[in-house]
Amino acid sequence: MFAAETLTGPSIPWFTLSPLLALLIGACVLMLGGSLLPQWPRGLYGIVTALSAATSIVLCFFLWDNLSDGRPETIIGDALAFDHFAVLGTISICVAVLLASLTTSDYLVREGEDGPELFVLYLSAAIGGIVMVAAQDLIVLFLGLETLSLALYVLAASNRRREESQEAGLKYFILGGFSSAFFLYGIALIYGATKHTNLGRIMETLSSQQAFPRNDVLLLAGVGLLLVGLAFKVAAVPFQVWTPDVYQGAPTPVTSFMASAGKTAAFAALLRVSVTALESRVDDWRPVVWVLAVLSLVVGSVLAVTQTNVKRMLAYSSISHAGFILLGVEAASHTGSASAADGIASAMTYLLLYTVLVIGTFTIVGLVAGRGDSASNLTDFRGLGRRRPALALALTVFLLAQAGMPLTSGFVAKFGVIRAAVETSSYAIAIIAMLASVIGAFLYLRIMVSAWMEDAEGQDAAPPVPFLSGLAVTAAVAFTLVVGIVPGWLLDATRQVITLAGR
C-alpha cells in the first residue's frame, strides 16, 4: 500500500487548459441538455457549439498574450507543452469547429436530423486534436490521436440514409485502425530503444552521442512506423488511399472538418515530434518527408484534374495541399540552417489559412449539393453564377485562393512554404511544388468555368443559403481576402511559434 503523500500528482495549471475545458463544458452541456430537453429550438445545438469554440478562441488569445511575456514550458508533469505553437494549433482547430458547426447546423436542419450528436463529436474530436497539438509525450499523443480518430469515424458514417456515408465511415475505421496499430508499435519500438516516451527525454537521450548508438535499427524502425501513423492522418501519398472515398462519402460539413481539424492536429504533432524528439536524426527522416511531399504534390494535383465529382476533386486537392505543408516540414528539418524555423512557422500558418479556405469551399459545395447531399458533380455547378451570383463569387474567391492566386490567403500560405524551402536550399522540391500548383490551377478553373460560363439546362432552382452558413461563408471570404491583402500582422504573429517548449 502506498501512503497518500507518495501519490502527489503534478500541479495542474487550470487556466492554461481553459480552451480544452471550454470545449469539454460545451460537449457536456450538449450531451446532458440534449438528453434532458427533448428538442431544442432549431439551430441552437450548433450555436452552443460555436459559442464554446469561440470562447475557446478568446481564451487562446489571453494565453497567447501571457506567453509573449513568459517562456514556453511543459505542464502537467511534462505531458503537455504550452507554447505559441500549441496555442496557434488550438486556434486553428477551434476555428474549424466554429465554422463547421455553423454549416453543420444548417445541414442537419435541411436533412431533418437536427440533434446534438454531431456537435458533441466535433467537440470531442477537437479535444483530441488539441491534445495532439500540445502533446509532449508519445503516449499522450496517441491518446489524442485516438480521441480524434474515433470521433471522426463516427462522424464520417453519421448520415444513415446514404450508403456512401456508411461506407466511408467503415473504410476510414478499418484503415485508420490499421495505421494506428503501426503508430502504436512505433511508440513501443522507440520506447524500447530509448527507455522514454517523453519527447524531451528522447531528445536528450538521442543527442548524447557517446551514450546512444548512431545507427540503432530499433529506434529508426520506430521512427518509420511513427511517421506512417501521422502520414496516414495528414493524407500524404502513399497513405492517402482512404481520402477520396471518405471525403466524398462523408457528409459535406464533416468532410470540411476532417480536412481542416484532422490535418492541423496531425501536422502539428508531426512537426513537434520530428523537430524536438527526433532532431538529432533529421538526416534519417528528412528524405522520407521529401518523398512524401513530392508524391503528394504530384499525385494530388494530377489526379484531381481527372475527377468529375467536386468533393472528390477537393479530396485530391487536399492531398496536394498536404504536399505543400510537408514542404514546410521538410524546410524545418534543415536544423542547421537559420531558416529552418521558417519551415515551422510557414507550415502552421498554412494550416490556419487552409482551415478557413477548405471549410468555406466545402460549405458552398454542401449548399449546392442540396438535400441528401447528393448533387456534387461538376455538372451540378453549372450556371451557379446566374442562379446565385454571390455564392458563385464566394466560391471563386475560395478556389482562387486554393490555387494560390496573389491577394488571397492561399498565396500567402503557398508563398510561405515555398520561400522556406528556397531559403533552406531545397530547390528541387520548390520547383516541383510550383509545377504542382500550375497543374492544380486547372482543376480550380474547371469548377469556376462550370459555375460562371456554362449554362444549366433545367436547373433553375437556386440553392437556398441559410443564415448560419451564409455567416460562415462571409466570414471565411473576409478572412481570405484580408489576409491576402494585408498578411503582415498574421505573419508577424505566427513567427512566434518557432520556439517550442522543452527544446
Per CB under 8 A, residues contacting another protein are 163-164, 166-167, 170-171, 174-175, 178-179, 182, 215-217, 219-221, 223-225, 227-228, 232, 238-239, 241-242, 244-245, 248-249, 284, 287-288, 302-303, 306, 342, 405-407, 412, 415-416, 418-419, 422-423, 425, 427, 430-431, 434-435, 437-439, 441-442, 445, 453-454, 485-488, 491-492, 495
Name the residue nearer to another protein (CB basis): 29 or 422: 422
Q: How far, in Å, CA of 334 to CA of 332, rounded?
A: 5
| Shortest Cβ 405–another protein spacing (Å) | 6
Name the residue nearer to another protein (CB basis): 110 or 286: 286
State the angle between helix axes of 263-272 and 84-111 in degrees (0 to 180), rounded to the nearest 10: 160
Q: How many CB atoms lie within 10 A of CB 77?
A: 13
Name the residue nearer to another protein (CB basis): 78 or 423: 423
Q: How many CB atoms lie within 10 A of CB 428?
A: 11
| Shortest Cβ 32–another protein spacing (Å) | 33
| Shortest Cβ 310–another protein spacing (Å) | 14
Q: How far, in Å, CA of 302 to CA of 287, rounded?
A: 22
Q: Is 337 exposed, middle or buried (0-12, 13-18, 19+ CB in 10 A)?
A: middle
Would you say the C-alpha torsion 322, 328, 330, 332 has a positive or negative sign?
negative
| Shortest Cβ 472–another protein spacing (Å) | 23
Q: How far, in Å, CA of 448 to CA of 364, rounded?
A: 13
Look up residue 38 and give its three cell numbers. Answer: 427533448
For residue 125, what are the contacts with CB-CB under 8 A and spacing of at least 6?
A: 147, 148, 151, 152, 155, 257, 261, 262
Name the residue nearer to another protein (CB basis): 25 or 422: 422
Cα–Cα nearest to 155, from 263, 229, 257: 257
| Shortest Cβ 333–another protein spacing (Å) | 14
State the angle between helix axes of 282-305 and 427-452 in degrees (0 to 180), rounded to the nearest 10: 20
| Shortest Cβ 17–another protein spacing (Å) | 31
| Shortest Cβ 424–another protein spacing (Å) | 10
Name the residue nearer to another protein (CB basis): 137 or 216: 216
Q: How far, in Å, CA of 262 to CA of 187, rounded?
A: 20
DSSP-derived pairing of the beta strands 80-82 and 73-75: antiparallel
Which 8-state DSSP code applies to residue 81? E
Name the residue nearer to another protein (CB basis): 47 or 481: 481
Name the residue nearer to another protein (CB basis): 40 or 339: 339
Q: Is 416 exposed, middle or buried (0-12, 13-18, 19+ CB in 10 A)?
A: buried
Name the residue nearer to another protein (CB basis): 37 or 174: 174
| Shortest Cβ 57–another protein spacing (Å) | 23
